[in-house]
Structure 1
C-alpha cells in the first residue's frame, strides 16, 4: 500500500495482531489504532518515517504489553493515548517526545512506573487514574517538574504523596479528577485542600481523616467541582467544606459511621466570614444520595430551595435522619423532584 499521500488513517477495530514494515508517511498526521484487542507487537521500524505524526491512539488495545524505543522518531507527536492497554513500562524513547502535550495512561493495569515523564517538557495533560502503579513520592516529585501541566487526573494511596501534590500550587491547580483511596496513616488526621479551581470530581474511599478543611474560604476555591463521592470514611463527622463548592451537581455519601451532619451549623459559622454574604449551599445540586450513615442527623439546619434537585435518595440505615431540609418552596423551579426514603 502507498502511504505517501495519506494524512489521516484509521485502523481501529481491525483485529490486528502485529504491525510490521516500514511505511514512508511524510504527510501522516493522525493514526488511530484503538480497540485492536489482539494487537501484541508493533515493530520499531514502523514509526521511522512518520515525521509529521501528531496524534497516535492505541487505547483499548488490551493485548499490547510494550512499545518500541523507536517511538522517539515521532518528533512531531503531540497526543498519545495508551489507556486501557497492558503496557508494563513506558519506552525510553518516550522521553524524547519534546512536542508531546497530551498523554493518557488511564486504566493501564500493568503499568509499573511513570519514570521519565518529567522529561516531557511540553506536557500539559497527564491522565493517570485507575492505572496499576500507586504513585510514590519519587513519582510525585517528577510531576512537580512538569512546568506546563494544566490537567492531571490521579489516584492517591499515600498521605506523603498527597502532601507533595497539594503543596505544589501548579499541580494542585491542574488536578481535574482525584480519588483518595485507603489513605489511613495515623498521621493523616486532617485533610486540608488548597484552592483547586479546576477540579471537577473528588472521590474519597476508606480514608482515615477526621476532618476536611479548605485553606481559602471563598466560593471560588472549588468553582469547577461538580461531583463528590465519599465512602467508608469512618472518622468524618461533617462535610461542611462543601459550602465552597457552589457548582456541585452530584453528592454521594455512604458507609461513614461517625457522620452526623452534611453541613454543620456550628462549623459553618466558624468557617465563613461573618461580614460576608451567607453562603447558600446546593443551589446547583441535581442528585443527593445518602446511605448507611447510622449517626446522620441533619443535611442542613433549615429548608433549602434546591432549584435543580431532581433526586434526593436517603436509602438504607440512616435511622437518625428524621427531617429533610425541604419545605413548600423547595424544588419549585420547574424541575421534578423525586424523594426516595428508606430501603424501598
Structure 2
C-alpha cells in the first residue's frame, strides 16, 4: 500500500476545463460566419501593408540602386501564400455555410464545419502575424560592390588582339608594376584598356578591386581622388570637405591593404600617384597600374616598367572594321533600315577636341563661346568672363554654389548639368534676358531657383535627376517654353494645376519616375493618379514627344482614349491596372520606345482581337518603335505573349511576377498560329533579364535563333527547365549568361538537337 500516491483534483476544476475546451471548439462553428467576414477584411489590410512595402521597395530599387532584403522577399512570399490560402477558403465558403443551422450555432455536419472553422480561425491568426511582421525598418540593402565593373565594349575587337595578349601576359610579370600604352588618338587605346578591364571578370580572385579613372586633359588631382574614393567606399559628404593631403592618406590606407589594379585612361602629362595617395607597385606589393597616353614621353615621366605602342590598323583590318561598323544593310542600301533615335551619343575624344577647337577658335576674338567641361571646376568662372558670352558649357564639374550675379545679356545657351549644385542665388538669372536653353539636370538642387521664372525667352528647361520638391506658380511666365524635362525627379511632389497647360507652345514634355504618394486633395497635377495631368496635356496643341507615368484607372482611361497623346508618347509607365488590359488599346503609340508595367492587380494583357486589327491595317506588327520593356511586380500576370508583336525589342526585363508560367503562351499563340512564324519574335533582342519568377516554366515553346542576343539573365526561376536556343551556339557566340547553376548544368548536359 505504501506505493500508492493520491492526487486530489476538484470536480469543479475538471468541469471548468471541459467546458472551456468545448466552448473553444464550438466557437469554430458558431463564429464561422463572422470569421469569414473578418477574414476578407484582414486580408485586405494585409494587402494594403504589402502595397506600402512594395512602394518602398520600388523606390529604393529604382532610385537608390538597392536590392530588397531576404526578409522582405520571404515576407512577400508569405503574403502571396496567405492570399492563395484565403482564396481557397473563400471557394469553400458557400458550401460550408449552407451546412450551418440553428442561426449558425450548429451544423448538419459538425465534423466538416469544425475542421473548416478551425482552418478559418488559424488563417485569421496567420494574417495578423504576417501583417505585424510587415513593419520593416529597412526594406532594401545596398548591393555589394563587385571587384570589377564591366565596361561596355563591342564583342568583336579588330587588330588589337596581339597587343592585348602581350599586355595581359605582362600583367602576370611581378617585375612590371606600371604599364604604359601609348599611340596617336583614335587607334584604340581606350578600347584596349576596356578589354583589359573586362578580362579581370574572368579572374576575380587575382585582385581585390579594379579601378577605372578617366583622366583626360586638364584633369585635376581632386577629380582622380574622387573617382578612386567612390570606388573604394570613401566618398561621402564629410570626405568631400577634406584637404587633398587628407584624402591621399585615406586612399593610401585602404589601397595598401588591397591587391588593386588602377586603370588610368587618357593621360596627357605626369600624374603624381603619391600625391593622389596610390601606393606604387613593387615586388612586395602585387598591385598593377596601367595607363593610356598619346605621348611616349609620358610613359617615361610615369616611370613605366613596360611600354606598348598601339599602332594604327593595317589596310585590310581597317576595311574590315569599317564594314562591320557600317553594316551590310547600309552598304547594300537597304531601304527598310530603321533610324536610330537615341537621346545621347558619345563623341570620340579626338573628334570632340577638334570640334571644341574649331568652335572656340572661330569665336575667340568675339569671346562668344566659353567651354570648360570636365575640368574639375569647384567654383563658376569669375563674372567678368561671362560678359559678352553667347553660349556656355560648365557641365561635368563639381560646382556647388552659384552666388554671384553675372551680367550676360547675349547668353542664349547655358549647360550646368552634372555638377554638384545645391544652391543658386535667386538673382543669378537676373541679367540673362536672351537665355533660351538651360540645362540643370543631374544636380543636388532641392529648392527651385525662383530666378528662372524671369527667363521669359526660355524655350528649353531640363531639371531631370534633381532633388527639387516643387515647382512654383511663377513658372507660368515662361510662355515660350517648348521643352520641359522633369524625368527622375524622385522628390517632386507638387506641380501646380494649370501650370503645364499654360505652356501653350510646348513640344516636348517628360515627367516620369516622380513621387506618386500624394493625397487626393493636393493642388498638384501629380495627385489623382495623373488624371489632372492628362487633362492638361490634352489642351497642348503642339505636343510632339511625351514621357509619362500613370497609376490611376481614370487617368489611364482618359489617356488611352486620346489618339493625340498616344501618338506622341515615347515613354509610358503604367501602375495600378486591375484584372486585364486589351493590347489593342496600346497600339496607337506609334513612337513609344520604352514601356514599364508595374501592376500588382493585372492578370492578363489580352491579344484576342489584336491580330484581326493588324490584318485590317495590312501590317504584321503593332509596336514597331518599342525597344525596351520592363514588367515588374505584376504578381498576378501569367504571361507576356503580346511581346511577339514588338519586332524591334532590344531589352526585356521581367521580375517578381510570381505566377507567370510562360513568357510566350503556347495556348494564346494558338489563336494566331498561322501568323506567329512571320512575326519572328526576339530577332533584335540584345538583353533578356528574368528574375524571381518562381513559377516560370517556359520562355518559348521551341528554339529561336536570337541573332542579336548579347546577354541573358535567368535568376530565381526554379521551375525553368530549358532556354529557347541552342546552348552550344550561345557559348560559341560568347553571349554573356547569368543563370541559375541548376539550369546551367542541365543545359550543358542536353543534346543540342533536342
Q: TM-score range by the shorter chain?
A: 0.7 to 0.9
> What displacement does 1:323 show?
3.3
How far apart, CA to CA, are the structure 2 residues paired with 1:279 and 1:336? 26
How far apart, CA to CA, are the structure 1 residues paired with 2:740 and 2:676? 38
**1:85–1:312 CA distance, 2 compared to 1 (3 A):** closer
**1:287–1:147 CA distance, 2 compared to 1 (3 A):** same
Matched, 1:279 2:672: no
Q: Which residue of 1 aligns with 2:712?
A: 312
How far apart, CA to CA, are the structure 2 residues paired with 1:49 and 1:84? 26
Find the structure with the greater CA-based Rg: 2
Matched, 1:17 2:416: no
Q: Which residue of 1 aligns with 2:721?
A: 322
1:34-62 per-position Cα deviation (integer Å, ceiling 9, x unaligned)? 3453533432x443442321111222332
Greater CA drift, 211-220 or 246-255: 211-220
- Structure 2 stretches lacking a partner, 5+ long: 1-382, 517-525, 743-754
Alignment of 1:175-190 (within 5 A): 175-181=569-575, 183=576, 185=578, 188-190=579-581
How far apart, CA to CA, are the structure 1 residues paired with 2:714 and 2:394? 48
How far apart, CA to CA, are the structure 2 residues paired with 1:42 and 1:286? 46
How far apart, CA to CA, are the structure 2 residues paired with 1:30 and 1:179? 31
Q: Which residue of 1 aligns with 2:557?
A: 163
Say which SS state the counterpart of residue 252 (structure 1) adopts: strand
Q: Which residue of 1 aligns with 2:533?
A: 139
Whether the 8 Å CA contact 1:190–1:213 is kept in 2: the answer is yes
Say which SS state the counterpart of residue 282 (structure 1) adopts: coil
Q: Which residue of 1 aligns with 2:202?
A: none
Say which SS state the counterpart of residue 601 (structure 2) adopts: coil
Whether the 8 Å CA contact 2:493–2:514 is kept in 1: the answer is no
Matched, 1:107 2:488: yes
> What displacement does 1:283 show?
0.6
Say which SS state the counterpart of residue 679 (structure 2) adopts: coil
Q: Which residue of 1 aligns with 2:412?
A: 29
**1:297–1:100 CA distance, 2 compared to 1 (3 A):** same
How far apart, CA to CA, are the structure 1 residues paired with 2:432 and 2:703? 62
Matched, 1:78 2:459: yes
Say which SS state the counterpart of residue 285 (structure 1) adopts: coil
Among 443, 449, 453, the residue aligned to 1:67: 449
**1:325–1:91 CA distance, 2 compared to 1 (3 A):** same
How far apart, CA to CA, are the structure 2 residues paired with 1:302 and 1:36? 50
> What displacement does 1:330 show?
6.2
Whether the 8 Å CA contact 1:30–1:53 is kept in 2: the answer is yes
Among 503, 509, 518, the residue aligned to 1:126: 509
**1:335–1:174 CA distance, 2 compared to 1 (3 A):** farther
Say which SS state the counterpart of residue 289 (structure 1) adopts: strand
How far apart, CA to CA, are the structure 1 residues paired with 2:541 and 2:668? 37
Whether the 8 Å CA contact 1:7–1:28 is kept in 2: the answer is yes
Say which SS state the counterpart of residue 93 (structure 1) adopts: helix
Q: Normalised by the size of structure 1, how large is the TM-score? A: 0.85
Matched, 1:90 2:471: yes
> What displacement does 1:174 show?
2.0
Whether the 8 Å CA contact 2:446–2:469 is kept in 1: the answer is no
> What displacement does 1:278 show?
2.7
How far apart, CA to CA, are the structure 2 residues paired with 1:224 and 1:155? 19
How far apart, CA to CA, are the structure 2 residues paired with 1:294 and 1:109? 30
Matched, 1:301 2:682: no
Greater CA drift, 5-14 or 236-245: 5-14
Whether the 8 Å CA contact 1:200–1:227 is kept in 2: the answer is yes
Q: Which residue of 2 aligns with 1:247?
A: 648
> What displacement does 1:149 show?
1.8
Q: Which residue of 1 aligns with 2:172?
A: none
Greater CA drift, 110-119 or 1-10: 1-10
How far apart, CA to CA, are the structure 2 residues paired with 1:328 and 1:107? 39
**1:86–1:324 CA distance, 2 compared to 1 (3 A):** closer
Aligned length: 335
How far apart, CA to CA, are the structure 2 residues paired with 1:102 and 1:17? 25
How far apart, CA to CA, are the structure 2 residues paired with 1:256 and 1:328? 26
- Structure 1 stretches lacking a partner, 5+ long: none
**1:261–1:16 CA distance, 2 compared to 1 (3 A):** closer
How far apart, CA to CA, are the structure 2 residues paired with 1:271 and 1:32? 51
Say which SS state the counterpart of residue 210 (structure 1) adopts: strand
The structure with the greater share of residues assigned to helix is 2
Matched, 1:288 2:667: no
How far apart, CA to CA, are the structure 1 residues paired with 2:491 and 2:738? 41
Q: Which residue of 2 aligns with 1:262?
A: 663
Matched, 1:227 2:608: no
Say which SS state the counterpart of residue 658 (structure 2) adopts: coil
The structure with the greater share of residues assigned to strand is 1
Q: Which residue of 1 aligns with 2:600?
A: 207
**1:60–1:301 CA distance, 2 compared to 1 (3 A):** closer
**1:211–1:179 CA distance, 2 compared to 1 (3 A):** same
1:270-324 per-position Cα deviation (integer Å, ceiling 9, x unaligned)? 257x5797322111112222233233232222221111123333322331x3333
**1:49–1:261 CA distance, 2 compared to 1 (3 A):** same
